Amino acid sequence: MPEVRLRPYRAEDAQRFDAEAQVPGALDFFGWAPSDRASRKFARDGMLGADSGNLVVDVEGVGMVGDVGWVPVFHGPPPNCFALNVGIGLFAEHRGRGYGTVAQRLLAEHLFAYTRFERLEASTDVLNVAEQRALEKAGFTREGVLRHAQWRAGAFHDVVLFSRLRGD
Ligand X SMILES: CC(C)(COP(=O)(O)OP(=O)(O)OC[C@H]1O[C@@H](n2cnc3c(N)ncnc32)[C@H](O)[C@@H]1OP(=O)(O)O)[C@@H](O)C(=O)NCCC(=O)NCCS
Binding residue (CB under 6 A) for ligand X from 2, 24, 34, 96: 96
Ranges of beta strands (E only) in 13-118 are 53-59, 63-74, 82-90
46 binds ligand X (CB under 6 A): no
Q: Cβ closer to ligand X: 2 or 81?
A: 2
95 binds ligand X (CB under 6 A): yes
97 binds ligand X (CB under 6 A): yes
Q: Cβ closer to ligand X: 112 or 162?
A: 162
Element (H, E) at 129: helix 129-137
Site size toward ligand X (CB under 6 A) is: 22
- List C-alpha distances in Å: 40 to 14, 35, 50, 168: 9, 10, 17, 36
The mark string for 106-125 relative to ligand X (x by CB under 6 A, - otherwise) is: ------------------x-
Length of the chain: 168
Strands 82-90 and 119-125: parallel
128 binds ligand X (CB under 6 A): yes
Half-sphere exposure of 51 (CA within 13 A, CB side): 13
Strand partners, 151: 156
Which residues form the interface with ligand X (CB under 6 A)? 27-28, 66, 87-90, 95-101, 124, 128-131, 133-134, 137
